[in-house]
Structure 1
Amino acid sequence: MTTVIPTRTQESGTKTDLDLIVEAKDAVARGVVRLTLVRPDGDELPPWRPGAHIDLRLTPELTRQYSLCSDPADRTRWQVAVLREPEGRGGSAHVHDRLAPGDPVRVRGPRNHFALRPSPRYLFLAGGIGITPLLPMLAEAERSGARWELVYGGRSLASMAFHAELLATYGVRIRLVPQDELGLPDLDRLLACAGEDTSVYCCGPEGLLRAVEERCAARPHVALHTERFAPKDPQPDGTDEEFEVELADSGRTVTVPPGVSVLDAVEQAGVQVLSSCREGTCGTCETPVLGGTVDHRDSLLTPEEQAANDTMMICVSRAAGPRLVLDL
C-alpha cells in the first residue's frame, strides 16, 4: 500500500460463522446491488467500526469479502454493496443471480484492516465500488467535527452507487467525477492541497490506488491509508524455494515445497487455519511469526509492518530463508 505513511489498523473480529438471512436486496446503481443482512431471531449483530468487512460464505467453495457500508450504530442489520463483475470468479454473479430476500447466508466477521483513525482533516478518494468502506467513514468524520471532503470517481453517474444519497446528505463536501463527463480526478491538484494535518483514505481499482501511492510517496507529510479489493501485481524478485515451517504450538515441522503456499502445506499436515481469499488481501490467515525472515507477498501489510517481520499472510507469503517459526 517510500516516504508515505500508509497504515493498517487491525481489529479483531468474530472467528465463528453467523447464520444470517437476506432481509432485503435492492439495486443502488447500474450493476450494483445492496444486501441487508439480519439475524433470524432479531438479536443484535457484533459491533464494528468504519472500514470493516465481512466474509460471505456463499457456498462451501465460494467465500468473498465485502465492506460493510451501513451504520455501525445500527446493531440490527449489516449492509454490503456488490458490483457485478463479468470477468470475476463467480462471487458477484452468485450474489446478483441467486441470492434473494429470505435466503440464508453464512457470514464471518467483521474484521477491520482499514480503520478510520482520528484526524483533524480527511481527504476521501473513492473509485467505483470503492465507495462502500468510505460511507460509514464519512458519517464518523462528520460526527467527530473533522474537516473532510470526498472525491468520488466512476465510469458514469449511473454506475456510481449512492451518489444521489451522498449529495443529498453532505452537499458541497461531495465531489463527483463521472469519467464519461469529466474525465479522471485531478490527483496532483488534490494531493498538492493536502496539508500536514490531512489523512487520505483511498479505496478503488488498482490504477487509482497506485496513482495515489505514487503521488503520496513525494509527500512525506501525508498519511495515506488504502484498501485493495484485488491483490497487487506480483513482485518479480520473489523466488519459490523449499523451506521448513516449525509450528510452535505442536513442535511439528512442515516442509513447504516450491509452488505450494504455507497455508496449503500446514492444512495438508492436518492443521486447520482460518482463511478466505487465499490471495493476500483479506487478512483472515494472518499468523504471528516467531522466528525466521518472511518474503512478504501480500497486498495488506504496510512496508513498515513487513519490515517488523512479526506477522505474515500465510496464503501467499513465503520464507526468505531456510526456516520459519510460526505461532500455529
Structure 2
Amino acid sequence: MSERGDGATASTDGGGDRRPRWRRGRVLAAFAVLTALVLLFHRQIPNTPGRLGSLVESFLPWSWVVLVVLFGLGLLRRAPLAMLAALLPTAVWAHQCGVLLPEPRSDGHDLVVVQHNVSDENTDPQGTPRSLSGPSPDLIALEELLPKARAVYERGLAASHPHHAVVGTVGLWSRYPLTGVRAADIKPAGITEPWNRGLRAVVEAPQRDIAVYVAHLPSVRLDVGGLESAWRDESARRLGAEVSAEKTDTVLVVGDFNGTVDDRGLAPLTSQLDVPDRGFAFSYPAAFPVARIDQIMARSANVGPIRTLPATGSDHLPVLARIALDDPVSAAPSASRDRSTR
C-alpha cells in the first residue's frame, strides 16, 4: 500500500489495482442501481417481445440470487462502493418480496382450503387423498383428475369430504353441501379439441354461501423466443369475467394458474381478488420448487399465508391457506390490495 500526495489512500490489492479503494467497483455499483430500477419498475417492462415483463415478474422472488452475486463480487474486489450500492436493490427486494416471508400462524379463520394439481401421472393415487385430508381442510380442489383416477379420489375422500363435484378434469371436495354446480367457460378460442378445466359450485358453509371456482389454466412455455402464455392469459381473462359477474358476494378462486400472483397475465384475477402477501410456498416443480403457480384467492374474504404440504405422487406440491370471511355487514366485492408496485 502506498500514500498519495493528495491524501487519498491507494491500494495494490487485487492484482495491482492502484485506484483509491472507494472508487473501485463502479461497474458493479451501476449494475446494482440497474437491478434496483428493474425491481422497482418491473410493471413498466414491456411484455413484447416474448412477454419479457411477465417472465421477470414470474421469478421476482429469485432476484435475491443477483443480490448475493453483487455482494460477493464487491467483497471479492474489496470494493465498498459496490457493496454499498448493492444495499439499494436489497432494500427494494425486501419491500416487494420480503412481505412474502412467513408470519406467525393465526388461528383466526373460518375455512381451511387445500389446492393440488394431482398430476395425470401421479405415482401414488391411493396415498394422495390421505395426504390431502390430513390437515382437516374444509375444501379440497383438484386438477388433472383423469376419469380412470376419479373413483380412487372419491373413495379416498368420501369419509372426510362427503360432498364433491367434478367437471372435466377439475374437482371440488367439501365438508359442506354443494349446489349450483356447472362448468366455468375458460377455454381459449384457439383450443379446438375437447377441453373442460373450469368448475363453479356454491358451498353451503355454516357462515354463508360461498361461490367457489376451480380452474386449471393452460400451461406456459419458455423457449428462445421468451415466454409463450397467450392461451393462459386468455383463459385468465375469461375466468376473471366469470368472477366479476358472480352474484354471490363471497367468492373463492383456486387452482393451478400456471403463473405467480405477480405475473401481469393473471391481472384479470389479482386485480379483483384478495391474494396472500406472505408465504413463498413454491409449489412447482415438486422435486425443486421455484415458483408458486397453485393459487388460492378470494373476494369478501382474507386469504392467510399460504404454505405447502408434503409431496405426494404429483409433480406439484399441495398448498394450504386459511380463509377469514369478511363481516357480512360490510362484505362487498372489492379489489385486492394494490399490487402495482409489486
Bigger radius of gyration among the two: 2
Q: Which has the higher helix share?
A: 2
* TM-score, normalised via structure 2 length: 0.27
Q: Which has the higher strand share?
A: 1
* TM-score, normalised via structure 1 length: 0.28
